[in-house]
Amino acid sequence: MSGPLHDIVVVDLSRALAGPHAAMMLGDMGARVIKVETPGTGDDTRGWGPPFVGPEDDPISTYYLAANRNKESITLDLKSDDGRDVLTRLVQRADVLVENFRPGVMDRLGFGNDALHELNPRLVVLSISGFGHDGPQGGRAGYDQIAQGEAGLMSLTGSTPEDPQRVGVPIGDLLAGMYGAYGVVSALHERTTTGKGRVVRTSLLGAIVASHALHGTAYTVAGHVGHAQGNHHPSIAPYGLFHCMDGDVQVACGAESLWVKLAEGFGIDPATPGMVTNRERMANRDRVTATLNKAFATWRLDDLLPRLAELGIPSGEVRTLDRVYDWDQTRSQGLVLDVDHPVLGSIEIPGPPIRLDDNTFAGGRETHQAPPTLGQHNDSVRAWLAEEDPA
């Protein structure tokens, strides 16, 4: 093992996406992550698709592959004596436990927070819920799209206020996983001083609300309720998607000097009444957008992007995913990993976005493991527990 968390053992009881994503982030930094799955079926996402790959009689979900790299898989029936015994021994040896059951389920299984800390006072517990662990709706099930709607994100996303849209990825799950992993490493650092673990809680609701950014303070401070505005920034103009002869281009003028360069570079007077300052341009955004669309209409994308770069204007195209993963810049950042899967063989999967210092590998470890097959590490994990068991 390598990486800053190489001496940390994580027991991952979670399924679907938020908890598995948090545990995967810890694994990317070198932690040993042991994923506990239900015998026969495993994580719910093993059945989510299409697309599926591999043998027709036992297909593998690409959804599952997205959230479970750098983990081992052991199957346990937590309602059986054997399952509870193995989990008990895992808890006693672990540094972190991740779970995203509905509030109360862990208590019914006999592994509530008090019981966990009785077994291991140093254990850091990450508990992720849909809408929080208490409050009037604390027991609600957490599904990403429902949380996106309830937490206001869909009202900010779409072409108009009458066209609410979910974000194209399960962003509530992903954000909850990220905030959860952040909470875990904070608690691990605290443990070096106190010698004790603690319970870290987050939720899909909390993660999305915490990500409202400018929209949050616009309401809490100014009483302004934001709404969907399509592909243009709610506070800066021009900043958004524009059209050229054969495609779309995105332009971000985050400073007045950039507006002057952009306008002069395409034959527009930057001092045109109604366009001089950002506040004026926001008040006349439709006019600004129409002016730029007209200026770009005679340009092909392959010529327009170099021209914008020459002017020093932040800009870019809108890539499909195939063009993202085939892009040399993506690959230069270690964002595509080559791993050996026990069934699929050599495959490419998305990689972690963090690089430490100037290393040439992604994440905090030199090598990465493919997401495991169901129960792939049953024997090795049990053997490790037997070796470590003082009895």
Structure tokens at 328: 């040399």
CB atoms within 10 A of CB 390: 4
Q: Which of 355, 384, 391, 362 is nearest to 32 (CA)?
A: 384
Strands (E), 115-252: 124-129, 199-203, 239-244, 247-252
Q: What is the 3-state composition of the chain as percent helix, strand, coil, each rounded to the nearest 5? A: 40, 15, 45
Long-range pairs for 284-292: beta carbons < 8 A, 24 or more residues apart: 285/232, 285/237, 285/238, 288/237, 288/238, 289/232, 289/237, 289/238, 289/240, 289/242, 292/238, 292/242, 292/251, 292/262, 292/266, 292/268
Give the integer Cα–Cα distance in Å for 40 and 46. 11
Quick one: DSSP state of residue 363? B
Helix/strand/coil for 139 = coil
The one catalytic residue in 43, 173, 286, 338 is 173
Two tokens, residue 305: 């992007």
- Reduced to 3 states, what is the DSSP secondary structure of residue 298? coil
Residues facing residue 10 across a β-bridge = 33, 96
340 is catalytic: no
Those residues with Cβ within 8 angstroms of residue 390's Cβ, 6 or more apart along the chain or in another chain: none
Q: How far apart are the first and last CA of the chain?
A: 26
Q: List, in order, residues 6 or more apart from 328 with CB less than 8 Å away.
A: none
Give the Cα separation of 9 and 47 in Å (integer): 27
Contact, 303 vs 313, CB < 8 A? no
* Strand 9-12 relative to strand 96-99, pairing: parallel
Positions marked catalytic = 173
